[in-house]
Chains A and B, each alone.
Chain A
Amino acid sequence: MANRFGIFALTAGTLFSSFALPVLADSDLVNVYSARKEALIKPLLDKFEAETNIVVNLVTGNADALLKRLQIEGSASPADVFITVDAGRLQRAKDAKVLQSITSETLDAAIPAHLRDTDRQWYGLSQRARTIFYAKDKVDPAQLSTYEDLADPKWKGKICSRSSNNVYNQSLVAAMLEANGTEQTENWAKGFVKNFAKPPAGGDTDQLRAVNAGVCDLTLANTYYFGRLANSSKDADKQLVNNVGVFWANQDDRGTHVNVSGAGVTKASKNKENAIKLIEFLTSAESQKWYAEVNSEYPVVAGSDVSSVLREFGDFKADTVELSKLGENNRAAVELMDRAGWK
């Protein structure tokens, strides 16, 4: 008994000793709060660390929770860089006043204006498109055209979708709100929901699998999930990629909905220079290539290499709506989805 408690006391002691390690400002340091998962950011941070000798500390987590943490910590926050996915969230961070404007000629030159904040509070790091995927044996791509068309009764019982809790869907609806206005978008959402083959559940990959298995004919998904399946060596995934096609939505009008992952320097940053250096590093040709290859995302820097898998999907015209609008419309989008009964 005494022995067992001795062990516990020892482990408890080890833990408590790590309390006394407040993170202090240091010239060779940069602290990152990242909503990008560790696997999709750590390798780049390690590379940055090796190249610059600047130590990178990382916490990953849920985007909105990290944002809340930044807000609550206020001026005492140890974070220098906030990395997250979805423009809606980047805008939310700006609105919450946790980011600051920065000046970097490198970033201004590299990143197109619609993929960064007008006040230079955040910059896009990689792009993803959310478009239509269809079962090749059941749907003729000539039948497909726009997101709007997916509310047409001809698709009744033929569409799989994930839940409206998902920020990708929220941003898509926010973009449609910007393009078509509230009334039209709400009518669209009602029709779209009526066409569902089953109640929404699961992730994008699950929807793609359902299309492949014959549960439904169509779904909306982010391109990198399909890219990951295309890169997979598993037979089931290969078969899926053969059976399911990519259709670029809205090519005759505003273009396919795209979103970004992005980063900004926090207002409380004590290592601002290092923070800017890190964001510049993440938009370097090398990093852009890494995102394309490892996560099948499109680069934000014009002229960067697109991975071979993405090249097979073909070129497309992307919606150039100012991404900050997605954040501004987010709440209206969620309320609209609630009213349309999109679970």
Chain B
Amino acid sequence: MTTQTFSSTARNINWLSGSAVLIASILALPVLVICAFLFAGSVDVWSHLFSTVLGDYVGNSLALLIGVSVGVLLLGVPPAWLTSVCDFPGRKIFTWALLLPLAVPAYIIAYTYTGLLDFAGPVQSLIRNITGLGYGEYYFFEIRSLGGATVMLSLVLYPYVYLLSRAAFLEQSSSALEVSRTLGYSRQKAFFKLALPLARPAIIAGLTLALMETLADYGTVQYFGVATFTTGIFRTFYGLGDSAAAAQLAAMLLGFVVLLILLEKYSRRQIKYHANNEQRKQPKLVQLSGMQATSAFFVCLLPVLFGFLLPGGVLLNWAITQAEFNPQDFIELAWNSFTLASAAAVLAVCLALILAYARRMNDHKRVRTSVMVAGMGYALPGTIIAIGILIPMAWLDHQLINLSSEWFGFNPGLIFSGTLFALLFAYMVRFLAVSLGSIQTGLDKIKPSVDSAGRSLGCTPTQVLKRIHVPLMRSSVLTALLIVFVDVLKELPATLILRPFNFNTLAVRAFELASDERLIDAAPASLMIVAVGLLPVILLSRSIARGKE
């Protein structure tokens, strides 16, 4: 791609790409540990899985991937387009409100909709009371099903597509669209022939994130009784007690991921364009009125209504009217969640910046490969990552304990595997792909010639970085911070297994109550997760929008 653009000394580049390879390799370690299980034999379990449930796992996972793809595209792209090029009542609010479902964990939205739409829930009870019909005498959508899981996941994952495609639409030069209009394209045609293809890499990047989350989801599918790859991994691991076969299933899951990554790469390969620098110009919005404005309003309202307002309302209602909880606990839980998520977000962005710049300046194959392997952790269920981390970290700890007791007669305990270190490590493995995706997209948009121009005008590399890259990268960095923050806030399985003594988070609290079948008592903690995630979502999305407009 590019060579030395703003750093002239080869030494700097080596330093950067060296640390990039180091970081990526460390983050790839758990994934490689899992893959190493491929060489452990467990033939009898495989023949059992193959003849009984494997078909279900593959079929359901594929169906879920396809369904969620359709769902997130339908819910994400149209609002992104409408809010970036049109003006209609409520547009300003929708620009950030459409992000709100990002703060709702998928398993929690599943609980609320089940509570609402289940046969024993209020909606169907009302129908029965009014009509006098009984079970099986009327049709009603079965929420606990593959279809239900698809809807739940689409409702909370579409913001990835919305966020990235909106950024792309905003950056498209409005003059290109104007020219296309003067050349006779209708507005629809301009959208389908010009805007959409140009935004395609961003849309696919968002879609990939959503699909990786879908593959890694455990809570929703488990609760709905849908047998997917992830539930299969857990069942093999726990029920059959075979960790090797479970890891092999996980490695197979990674096969899906490689496909996804290749798909994303492929969609990017075609278009290598860098944004025009006139993007800072205030875009001219198309004023909608009448029917058009109304439909735009509803297209934007629907995802927010079903992804946030309705489930949020149910939670609020449960929390206020029925739940038992001790508000005092919540200060500590919220603080733990908040600090953990903030630290992880900052760390993930720093690592992503190092990796992305290393690639920009020295696009070595070894850098690319290790970055790709490190990014695969995003599709693995948290528990599998946790185990992939515990194995090498505990080994390291044991070596350290041996050395230290031999030399100093002192046992330092489990420094790596028994502390927050392991947890942050897990978050990096799981969420690096997110921060990297956002930052790389941002960096790719800065033309290498801009760097050269800056240098030729007498700027030092640091000045180029400060005066050109920092302002241009601001949105991408903030987006990465935001998504990782919210993702860590919601993360459950890795947090559950890796956290140190006496350290709980909101997600852990909500999960414990819910898995003890006390959904209503879990509502306050769930609501707090949403609330803690809300403030950064609003602040950052406004700040992202300000940078763009």
- Neighbouring A residues of B234 by C-beta, 8 Å: 165
Option from B114, B222, B497, B508 in Cβ contact (under 8 Å) with A66: B497
* A338 contacts B398, C-beta separation under 8 Å: no
- Neighbouring A residues of B225 by C-beta, 8 Å: 162-163, 199-202, 343
* B517 contacts A205, C-beta separation under 8 Å: yes
Known: A22-B418, A60-B512. A68 touches B243 (CB 8 A): yes
Whether B447 is near chain A, meaning CB under 8 Å from some CB there, is no
* B346 contacts A8, C-beta separation under 8 Å: yes
* B398 contacts A62, C-beta separation under 8 Å: no
Give bound CA distance, A19 to B414, whole Å. 10
Binds A, one of B95-103, B199-207, B335-343: B335-343
Option from A5, A12, A203, A334 in Cβ contact (under 8 Å) with B347: A12
- Size of the B side of the interface (Cβ < 8 Å), in residues, is 74
A99 to chain B, nearest CB (A): 16
> A208-244, CB under 8 A of B: which get 1 and which 0?
0110111100000000010000000010000000000
Label chain A's interface by main secondary structure: helix
Give bound CA distance, A62 to B342, whole Å. 25
Whether B63 is near chain A, meaning CB under 8 Å from some CB there, is no
Whether A31 is near chain B, meaning CB under 8 Å from some CB there, is yes
- Neighbouring B residues of A165 by C-beta, 8 Å: 222, 231, 234-235, 239
Interface residues of B in 226-242 (CB under 8 A from A): 227, 231, 234-235, 237-242
Whether A40 is near chain B, meaning CB under 8 Å from some CB there, is yes
A268 to chain B, nearest CB (A): 11
- Neighbouring B residues of A170 by C-beta, 8 Å: 239
* B322 contacts A234, C-beta separation under 8 Å: yes
A317 to chain B, nearest CB (A): 27
- Neighbouring A residues of B391 by C-beta, 8 Å: 72
Binds A, one of B1-9, B175-183, B498-506: B498-506
> A178-222, CB under 8 A of B: which get 1 and which 0?
000000000000000000001111111110011011110000000
Interface centre among B134, B238, B496 (most CB of A within 10 A): B238
* A18 contacts B114, C-beta separation under 8 Å: no
* A210 contacts B119, C-beta separation under 8 Å: yes
- Neighbouring A residues of B502 by C-beta, 8 Å: 57-59
* A11 contacts B135, C-beta separation under 8 Å: no
> B415-452, CB under 8 A of A: which get 1 and which 0?
10111110010000000000000000000000000000
* A37 contacts B516, C-beta separation under 8 Å: yes
Look across to chain A and name the residue whose beta carbon is closest to the beta carbon of B421.
Answer: A19
* B119 contacts A213, C-beta separation under 8 Å: yes
B507 to chain A, nearest CB (A): 12
* A64 contacts B237, C-beta separation under 8 Å: yes
Interface residues of A in 64-108 (CB under 8 A from B): 64-66, 68-69, 72-78, 92
Look across to chain B and name the residue whose beta carbon is closest to the beta carbon of A12.
Answer: B343
Option from B114, B142, B513 in Cβ contact (under 8 Å) with A39: B513
- Neighbouring A residues of B223 by C-beta, 8 Å: 201-202
Give bound CA distance, A19 to B340, whole Å. 12
Whether B52 is near chain A, meaning CB under 8 Å from some CB there, is yes
Give bound CA distance, A204 to B52, whole Å. 25
Whether B320 is near chain A, meaning CB under 8 Å from some CB there, is no
A315 to chain B, nearest CB (A): 26
- Neighbouring B residues of A109 by C-beta, 8 Å: none
Whether B287 is near chain A, meaning CB under 8 Å from some CB there, is no
Give bound CA distance, A214 to B502, whole Å. 43
Whether B387 is near chain A, meaning CB under 8 Å from some CB there, is yes
Look across to chain A and name the residue whose beta carbon is closest to the beta carbon of B413.
Answer: A22
Whether A283 is near chain B, meaning CB under 8 Å from some CB there, is no
Whether B66 is near chain A, meaning CB under 8 Å from some CB there, is no
* B501 contacts A31, C-beta separation under 8 Å: yes
Whether B144 is near chain A, meaning CB under 8 Å from some CB there, is yes
* A18 contacts B420, C-beta separation under 8 Å: yes
Interface residues of A in 1-47 (CB under 8 A from B): 5, 8-9, 11-12, 14-16, 18-19, 21-25, 31, 37-40
Whether A286 is near chain B, meaning CB under 8 Å from some CB there, is no
Known: A76-B397, A338-B53. A23 touches B413 (CB 8 A): yes
- Neighbouring B residues of A199 by C-beta, 8 Å: 144-145, 225
Whether B150 is near chain A, meaning CB under 8 Å from some CB there, is no
Interface centre among A57, A201, A334 (most CB of B within 10 A): A201
Give bound CA distance, A174 to B334, whole Å. 41
Interface residues of B in 276-300 (CB under 8 A from A): none
> B137-166, CB under 8 A of A: which get 1 and which 0?
000001011000000000000000000000
* B239 contacts A330, C-beta separation under 8 Å: yes
Give bound CA distance, A30 to B238, whole Å. 27
* B386 contacts A213, C-beta separation under 8 Å: no
* B500 contacts A59, C-beta separation under 8 Å: yes
Give bound CA distance, A180 to B127, whole Å. 45
Whether A273 is near chain B, meaning CB under 8 Å from some CB there, is no
Whether A331 is near chain B, meaning CB under 8 Å from some CB there, is yes
* A78 contacts B499, C-beta separation under 8 Å: no
* B513 contacts A37, C-beta separation under 8 Å: yes
Interface centre among B135, B501, B515 (most CB of A within 10 A): B501
Look across to chain B and name the residue whose beta carbon is closest to the beta carbon of A61.
Answer: B496
Give bound CA distance, A74 to B391, whole Å. 11
Look across to chain A and name the residue whose beta carbon is closest to the beta carbon of B391.
Answer: A72
> B242-257, CB under 8 A of A: which get 1 and which 0?
1100000000000000
* A335 contacts B119, C-beta separation under 8 Å: no
* A72 contacts B394, C-beta separation under 8 Å: yes
* A213 contacts B418, C-beta separation under 8 Å: no
* B239 contacts A72, C-beta separation under 8 Å: no
Give bound CA distance, A209 to B120, whole Å. 6
Option from B241, B338, B386 in Cβ contact (under 8 Å) with A65: B386
* B419 contacts A62, C-beta separation under 8 Å: no
Interface residues of B in 469-507 (CB under 8 A from A): 493, 496-497, 499-504
Option from B120, B235, B390, B501 in Cβ contact (under 8 Å) with A59: B501
* A76 contacts B515, C-beta separation under 8 Å: no
B289 to chain A, nearest CB (A): 39
- Neighbouring A residues of B516 by C-beta, 8 Å: 37, 39-40
A-B contact pairs, 15 of them (CB 8 A): A22-B414, A25-B411, A60-B504, A60-B512, A62-B493, A65-B497, A72-B391, A74-B398, A75-B398, A76-B397, A92-B241, A164-B239, A203-B517, A213-B125, A334-B240
Identify 10 new A-B residue pairs, CB closer than 8 A, beyond the known A201-B224, A202-B223, A213-B125. A8-B346, A18-B500, A21-B500, A22-B414, A68-B497, A72-B387, A74-B398, A199-B145, A202-B144, A213-B119
Closest 3 CB pairs of A and B: A22-B413, A201-B225, A57-B501
On B, residues with C-beta under 8 Å from A are 48, 52-53, 56, 114, 118-120, 125, 134-135, 142, 144-145, 222-225, 227, 231, 234-235, 237-243, 322, 338-340, 342-343, 345-347, 383, 386-387, 390-391, 394, 397-398, 401, 411-415, 417-421, 424, 493, 496-497, 499-504, 508-509, 512-513, 515-517
